[in-house]
Amino acid sequence: MANITQVVWLFAITIIIGIVAQEPPISNNTNLHMICGPDSSSELVLQVGESYQRAISWLLSQRTRHWGWPLKSTATAILAMQLTNDSWYSRNSEDLTTQLSVKQLEIELLAELSRAKVVDKDSSRKIRNLPNISPGMLAYYIMALNSTCHNVTDFYRNDLIDILNGNMNRFPQSNFNNYFQYGLALLALCKSGAPIRAKYIREILDGQSVNGSYRYGIDVVSMALMAMSCVRDKVPTGYRNAYEQKMQRSIDYILSNQDQETHSFGNQISTALAVQALTAAGVESSNWNCHEAVRSGILTSQEDEGHFGSQGGTIQILPLLINKNFASVKNVKPNCDIPQDEEVDKSVFPEINILLRIENSVDTSAENLTLNVVVPENSTLYEAMVLATDQHNETFRFEATLGQWGHFMSHINGVANDGDRHHYWTILIGSERVSASTGSDRIITEDGETYIWYFKSFA
């Protein structure tokens, strides 16, 4: 069983790191900024290089005190960082702020997985939806995790590829009904090296209109084209001719939407996605005015602070500035080597058994619940709860918010804290029901011990 003790870092360390941290060095290799190919002018290369450095510095400055990004953008921001520089993160990196950002990525996804529900109870496979993460956003998480040395088929005992496949088989559904998200999902499978089912190839082809477009415009066409480019070598022989024809139709559609005066493909985000798609598909820049598209359609939209109008827009544009695109995700090769002195002897962390009990003293009609949970030795109570949601996914779920002092429990099995009535979840330990003096992040579980979440009125 994976050791998850490292998931929650002490925030005292975070404060120290915040004082001494420095931003990672930014490459000055001008060849990386030749986004219009060998014909890129030296002037454009310099402009793009300077734009890239300002955008990277701005994006890093937007991290929160937990070292993630606001607006649920931690996954997309980390993916953009790794796309532009796959040495930004490595397991032996001395930049602890980067390590903390990736830990925050883990924490955010683990919190969502704790609320996951089984969609098809009759199936032997655990196909689940994540309440606050759409399948398209899950694809971003998978790509970000894959790019930072994680096993996405065993992410703390969760098979993320299985979850994504389950949702792709249900496409379209309420939160997964457009081909931008579908393209992201294909990219995630491409990066993961997972099998690309013929059904997925057929779906991306059948969703295209006769003129090469997809519903909702050029952004969707661009993402679909990048996805098709990424999985191109995985297409079954029987689909290959149709696949090449459909790709060419999308290329033609994007080119037909280039403004003849400004040479853009819409706003700065649409232009960046279109340029990335054309680059991913191998379209020669001589077939369209790449220089002006980049200069007038993208670079002129950059603000003095370094962003491109928004955090989301900056994230979408960044890969282009380093001559990358979202299809390049399959080529990201992070340094995943573990230094010799940091290799973990798994025998140090044998498994133990604890009892997790849920009691509600406010609603006396509510049934108490007792769960046996298997955890690695030295796991915290919070980590044990995360594992409990996987081991007892049909009977146990919880929600917690991460604050300055660690995780604060807000809901357990649908019962929420009520500040107006002063009803709160508290922790009792052992048969003597001793009140815990610290939070779940600081309680180290012991073999055979009982941990009680007790809903109580403090009125």
CB 147 within 8 A of CB 324: no
CA 436, 1, 368, 421 dihedral sign is positive
Mean per-residue pLDDT over the chain, rounded: 85
Could you say which DSSP state residue 13 is in? H
**Position with higher pLDDT, 86 vs 359:** 359
Q: What is the pLDDT of residue 18?
A: 43
Burial of 339 (0-12, 13-18, 19+ CB in 10 A): exposed
Cα 361 from chain centroid? 38
pTM: 0.70
The mean pLDDT of 380-391, rounded to a whole number, is 89
Cα 128 from chain centroid? 17
What distance in Å separates the CA atoms of residue 281 and residue 223, rounded to the nearest whole number? 11
**Position with higher pLDDT, 129 vs 325:** 325
Q: In whole angstroms, how far apart are CA 244 and each of 213, 237, 248, 252, 330? A: 15, 11, 6, 12, 20
What distance in Å separates the CA atoms of residue 188 and residue 184, rounded to the nearest whole number? 6
Residue 341 has pLDDT above 50, yes or no: no
Q: What is the pLDDT of residue 326?
A: 86
CB-hemisphere CA count at 13 Å for 341? 1
The mean pLDDT of 310-326, rounded to a whole number, is 93
Beta-bridged to residue 78, according to DSSP, are: none
